[in-house]
Amino acid sequence: MKKRIVITGVGVLAPNGIGKNAFWNAIKEGASGIKPVTLFDISTLRTKLAGEISDFDPKAILGPKGLRNLDRTTLLVLCASELALQDANLPRPVPESDTDIYGVSLGSTMGSVWSISEFDKVALREGPRAVNPALFPNTVINSPASHISIRFNIQGFNSTISTGFCSSLDAIYYAMNMMNLYEYEVVLTGGVEELCEQTYKGFHKVGHLAGSRPGKEEINCPFDKRRNGIVMGEGACIVILEELGHAKARNAKIYAEILGYGTSFDPKSKNIYSPKAEGATEAIKGCLEDAELRVDNIDYICASANSTLDCGVMETKAIKNVFGERAKEVPTSSVKSMIGDSFSASGAMNIVASLGVLEEDFIPPTINYKEPDKRCDLDYVPNKMREKKVSKILVDSFSPTGNNSSLAIGRYE
């Protein structure tokens, strides 16, 4: 019998708000975190915007000690972990008596790109003897997750899941599996991705960014007819998963229960979202089956849609494939319209946004929605939030490279 797993803590750093309340207020108001890039020089590029966390001060959250040799990805996720543990009213660091029942499962794919590039730059220019050995640990993809365990004295399992856009939803499911199979009671899980020069310019060069191709507008508008590419974002989200009995024993606040998960790889996707939406359809179906839910149980869909032309079409088709006639009745919105696409962190961002929906009884809007696309004809909650009490939510995360994952959460009953 599967354990009942609930969410008892939330930590988030997003382009439009640091901390759960700031983030929830921002997405409720339709406040965009898209702004001119300041982290690196973009003067030679057509694109100038990103979902940058421009007011990020790790010392304000973590204190001044032990931060000098940590990269931006690690600092972001350590801050999110600190906020999540605070929110869950759990000890920091974890005491020796409890540390074996804690674990870490983090979704991250490109978090080490900047560190690898900077480390190799010195090695190539000045020779291997010139590199700073203290910076080498940042170049491995599991470094951010490892630093969570080091800082907070977590001696249970520690895993990094790297499945691109789906990484953080897959990391949450991995955490659930570890809790079901073993004696883990508390897991820090979610995703992180930093905004860095190398990835930004790489996506610009291949024409994947909004406005990166001649004659195209730099706009972030999922489902809108004008969409022509993503606006990159960054962020870190950590949620505390807890076995229900453990959470109740310490009178923890319970935000939601995780109800089910589905995933499907679509081999027909080759750096483009599959127009037939076969993988996305199977992921949603699998999620609902795992959660033992019917389509009429879902009150809101927190969409994967970014501002690419084909993602919105694919997700719309997948929802229609599964929900049939009810597809147009279920509010479906994209918080990426406000924060950009943060890749590995995007699924966790959707989870944290959905927790706000359950907590504060509203549905966030899809902002910048002006020109409807006849291929995208669902209820996308355009431009203004909607007051609504929601019970069960479907969260989607779909990738142009074939990965498709969906997670269902609901009010704890």
Residues 214, 349 within the same domain: no
Helix pair angle (346-360, 167-181), 10° resolution:
70
Q: Which helix (H) or strand (E) holds 80?
A: helix 72-87
pLDDT of residue 211: 96
Residues 373, 244 within the same domain: no
Token digits for 412?
């704890």
Using only the alpha carbons of the chain, give its radius of gyration: 20
CA distance 105 to 77: 12
Among residues 205, 229, 249, the one where a domain terminates is 249
Residues 305, 178 within the same domain: no
pTM for this structure? 0.96
CA distance 304 to 409: 16
Tens-digit pLDDT string for the chain (413 aa): 789 999 999 999 999 999 999 999 999 999 999 999 999 999 999 999 999 999 899 999 999 999 989 999 999 999 999 999 999 999 999 999 999 999 999 999 998 888 888 888 888 888 888 888 878 888 899 999 999 999 999 999 999 999 999 999 999 999 999 999 999 999 999 999 999 999 999 999 999 999 999 999 999 999 999 999 999 999 999 999 999 999 999 999 999 999 999 999 998 777 788 889 999 999 999 999 999 999 999 999 999 999 999 999 999 999 999 999 999 999 999 999 999 999 999 999 999 999 999 999 999 999 999 999 999 999 999 999 999 999 999 999 999 989 999 999 999 98
Among residues 249, 269, 295, the one where a domain terminates is 249
Note the Cα 124 to chain centre separation in Å: 34
Q: How many domains is the chain built from?
A: 2
Residues 280, 227 within the same domain: no
Residues 235, 275 within the same domain: no
Residues 43, 152 within the same domain: yes
- Domain assignment present for 151: yes
Residues 167, 47 within the same domain: yes
CA distance 235 to 12: 8
Residues 226, 266 within the same domain: no
Among residues 189, 217, 249, the one where a domain terminates is 249
Residues 269, 367 within the same domain: yes
- Domain assignment present for 254: no
- Domain assignment present for 255: no
Question: Side chain identity at 178, as an amino acid letter?
Answer: M
Q: What is the 3 state secondary structure string of 320-370?
A: HHHHHHHHHHCCEECCHHHHCECHHHHHHHHHHHHHHHHHHCEECCECCCC
- Domain assignment present for 256: no
CATH classification at residue 281: 3.40.47.10
CA distance to 26, 174, 403, per residue, from 303 (Å):
17, 21, 15
Q: Which domain holds residue 386?
A: 261-410
Kindly tell me the number of DSSP H helices and DSSP E strands found in the chain.
12, 15
Residues 154, 30 within the same domain: yes
CA distance 31 to 22: 11
SS3 37: coil
- Domain assignment present for 107: yes
Residue 93 preceded by cis peptide, ω within 30: yes
Residues 12, 150 within the same domain: yes
CA distance 387 to 300: 12
